[in-house]
């Protein structure tokens, strides 16, 4: 186990550009809104984005906590750690695979997580070194797979599910992002990336469709502005979708041991 962390959930995708980081940030915030102590680890070493999405300043740096230990930064009530807190994010991280895997492991194990119920790990796209390190070194409770309904994205999402199956990490479900576009001018809705793909994959791999998210300008603007939808519109329809997803993840991690304000998972 990772010290200070009860449960770990990987949020992954077979390819980039499907909104995985946006889903991770909002899902973590939704889980926190449900009463859990939540952290986010940005494992995308080459392209960390959680700092920006969670509104952490570009020059923010973590405090040290003893030799080779770091305190996570706080953002919207979440504990968070990212490569973005260590380097100038305007400069490329030109590293080979073993260096990337090593950096990920250090961020995970040398961060002083404070009594987290759930740590969400925002995985880099693909099925490479970081994914393998995660599977081999970290006790992951389950994975959430993010895809769009597009055929090519679904093809890569299958690879992500298969990868976790091969290393005995259960799939908690599929999030179908950008499933429907609603015109802000006329209200016409259209599945511009196709439809039904997430549900088809969920059935194919005997998992569940956690939810569908629309393709909207607001979700993108809020994430880019460091104020994700769950915080920006706590009573909005998209937030309700994320809250429902969070409850489904919590259900699969284990039932809360009591109904009081202090919520914890049974082991």
As a whole number of Å, the end-to-end CA separation of the chain is 12
Is 16 one of the annotated binding-site residues? yes
Query: What per-residue string of b and e applies to 141-166 under the rule 16 or more CB within 10 Å gives b?
Result: bbbbbbbbbbeebbebbbebbebbee
Closest CA to 70 of 31, 93, 41: 41
Is 14 one of the annotated binding-site residues? yes
Measured distance CA(121)–CA(74) in Å, rounded: 16
Is 19 one of the annotated binding-site residues? yes
Q: Which residues contact 15 (CB under 8 A, 6 or more apart)?
A: 125, 126, 152, 153, 156, 157
Is 17 one of the annotated binding-site residues? yes
Q: Quote the distance between the C-alpha of residue 241 and its chain's center.
A: 15
Tokens describing residue 188: 């016409």
Residues at the annotated binding site for ATP? 14-21
Binding site, annotated residues: 14-21
């Amino acid at each position: 186990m990772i010290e200070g962390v009860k449960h770990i959930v990987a949020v992954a995708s077979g390819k980039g550009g499907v909104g995985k980081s946006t889903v991770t940030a909002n899902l973590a915030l939704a889980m926190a809104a449900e009463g859990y102590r939540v952290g986010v680890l940005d494992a995308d070493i080459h392209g960390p984005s959680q700092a920006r999405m969670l509104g952490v300043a570009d020059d923010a740096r973590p405090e040290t906590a003893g030799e080779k230990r770091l305190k996570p930064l706080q953002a919207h009530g979440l504990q968070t750690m990212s490569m973005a807190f260590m380097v100038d994010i305007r400069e490329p991280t030109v590293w080979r695979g073993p260096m990337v895997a090593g950096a990920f492991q250090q961020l995970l194990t040398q961060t002083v997580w404070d009594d987290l119920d759930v740590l969400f790990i925002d995985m880099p796209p693909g099925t490479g070194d970081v994914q393998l390190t995660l599977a081999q070194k970290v006790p992951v409770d389950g994975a959430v797979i993010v895809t769009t309904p597009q055929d090519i994205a679904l093809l890569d999402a299958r690879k992500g599910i298969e990868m976790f199956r091969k290393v005995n990490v259960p799939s908690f479900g599929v999030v179908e992002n950008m499933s429907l576009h609603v015109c802000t001018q006329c209200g016409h809705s259209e599945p511009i990336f196709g439809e039904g793909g997430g549900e088809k994959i969920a059935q194919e791999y005997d998992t569940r469709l956690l939810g569908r998210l629309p393709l909207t300008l607001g979700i993108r603007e809020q994430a880019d502005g460091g104020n994700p939808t769950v915080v920006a519109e706590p009573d909005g329809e998209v937030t309700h979708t994320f809250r429902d997803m969070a409850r489904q993840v919590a259900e699969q991690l284990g039932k809360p041991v009591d109904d009081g304000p202090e919520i914890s998972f049974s082991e």
